[in-house]
Amino acid sequence: RISQLERELTLLARQSAACTTLLSIPGVGLLTATAMVAATSGNVQHFRDARHFASWFGLTPKEYASGNSRHLGRISKRGDRYLRMLLTHGARSVLRAASVAAKTGRTLDGLRRWALAVQGRSNPNKATCALANKLARICYATLRDAQPYGQPAPRLNQKIGRTAFALAT
């Protein structure tokens, strides 16, 4: 029964362009990609930015402010509990694989290096939440640009075209 459900989910994921782009992100598997597409319909245009998308899952820290002081607390845990759990498990697996790869001396990409740096300066659970937040923001960007993770986005080419260097040539 479980293998049949996995086959059906795989078939659905292959038919959805949004799922295939999400599956290119480390830490995002079949369940996470299909659940995210089901929750958002593959369209993230109604979110103002990536922070609001991550906030929708409850992965952003609560803010406490009084006067001039501002304090960021723990994550809000508001939003879709199931997707937050899937992103957290994905983040934990990326952290685990990155630490094993670092111990064996393999080279790490930018996301894994960042995750290990966060884990080095805080406890593992905070690093997991921070990486889950970052994964949600990466999911937003891949769905917005319809580009797999790791490929230059069309928005980057537009930015480069507007720089002073490009205008001078």
Q: CA–CA separation, 79 vs 70, rounded Å?
A: 23
Going 85 to 86 to 87 to 89, the CA torsion angle's sign is positive
Which stretches of the chain score pLDDT less than 70? 74, 151-169
pLDDT value for 90:
95
Strand pairing class (61-66; 69-75): antiparallel
Residue 89 near residue 109, CB atoms below 8 Å: no
Question: Which of 106, 102, 105, 115 has its CA nearest to residue 27?
Answer: 115
pLDDT at 94: 93
Assess contact for 63 and 70: CB atoms under 8 A.
yes
